[in-house]
Amino acid sequence: MTAVLFDFSGTLFRIESTHAWLSGALAGTGTTLSGPDLAATARALEEAGALPGGAPPARVPEELAGVWEVRDESAQLHRAAYTGLSRQVRLPDPGLHDVLYDRHMTPDAWSPYPDAAEVLGTLSERGIAVGVVSNIGWDLRPVFRAHGLDRYVDAYVLSYQHGIQKPDRRLFSTACAALGSEPGRTLMVGDDRRADGGAAALGCAVHFVDPLPVSERVSGLRPVLDLLR
């Protein structure tokens, strides 16, 4: 193997909890909710699937079904899909739906998995090229920079910048070309068997991790290093 491609959410990083997401947005606007109301609203937002990178929607409303399917193909579609889900939940101020969306794009909303720096650093030391391939609607580079991981990444291939979503093999092909690696000598690491598994159609090897909370997955990425020996 000459290169490894990584998914972002659930693979290298994990989004904060829905409760922390809502609490942070409220604090930023000076809005308050009582303890029981805060907990109930957070649960409703989680069921709606309004937090990008969080739990998927229990049900996608019919009026959002079309945009939901292509949400990662542009920044506008991504925002429309997730604020649309958020608006299924009543909030103290309608403006909070956009505040919530904006918060999830901040570095503070994300935590790297405990072994992410170790694994990426080891790959860099071994001369293995690293790419990040993500279905996403915004630029995640600031998250990597804020957590000190950007120095290990040689290329970012983000769906919204190409108008293509995983599992479309073209997104993986773009990543391999950016790294100068042949698909047959490239490993894709992700948490979504459908989306990330699309790399196999291009000829890449694929390895899956569990998108567990950070505290519950301390060494989930380390097996990648064994696969490259």
Task: Based on the fold, state whether residues 8 and 118 are members of the same structural domain.
Answer: yes
| Alpha-carbon distances, residue 117 vs 91, 106, 123, 214 (angstroms) | 37, 19, 10, 13
Q: Write the single-letter amino acid at 117.
A: A
Task: Based on the fold, state whether residues 10 and 23 are members of the same structural domain.
Answer: no
Quick check: helix, strand or coil at residue 191? Answer: coil
Of 108, 133, 164, which residue constitutes the final position of a domain? 108
Task: Based on the fold, state whether residues 154 and 175 are members of the same structural domain.
Answer: yes
At 144 the pLDDT is 98
At 28 the pLDDT is 87
Task: Based on the fold, state whether residues 27 and 71 are members of the same structural domain.
Answer: yes
Task: Based on the fold, state whether residues 163 and 221 are members of the same structural domain.
Answer: yes
At 229 the pLDDT is 75
Task: Based on the fold, state whether residues 85 and 139 are members of the same structural domain.
Answer: no
Task: Based on the fold, state whether residues 104 and 135 are members of the same structural domain.
Answer: no
Task: Based on the fold, state whether residues 98 and 29 are members of the same structural domain.
Answer: yes
Taking phi over 0 as left and psi of -120 to 50 as alpha, with beta for the rest, 127 belongs to: left
Q: Is the dihedral of CA 175, 184, 198, 146 positive or negative?
A: negative
Task: Based on the fold, state whether residues 84 and 97 are members of the same structural domain.
Answer: yes
In angstroms, how far is the first alpha carbon of the chain from the final one?
Answer: 9
Alpha-carbon gap, residue 140 to 150, rounded angstroms: 10
Q: What is the pLDDT along the chain (229 residues), one digit of tens a residue?
A: 999 999 999 999 999 999 999 999 999 888 888 999 999 999 999 999 999 999 999 999 999 999 999 999 999 999 999 999 999 999 989 999 999 999 999 999 999 999 999 999 999 999 999 999 999 999 999 999 999 999 999 999 999 999 999 999 999 999 999 999 999 999 999 999 999 999 999 999 999 999 999 999 999 999 999 998 7
At 32 the pLDDT is 84
Of 67, 85, 108, which residue constitutes the final position of a domain? 108
Q: Residue 97: how many CB atoms within 10 A of its CB?
A: 22
Q: For residue 135, what are the domain limits?
A: 3-14+110-227
Task: Based on the fold, state whether residues 82 and 148 are members of the same structural domain.
Answer: no
At 30 the pLDDT is 87
At 199 the pLDDT is 98
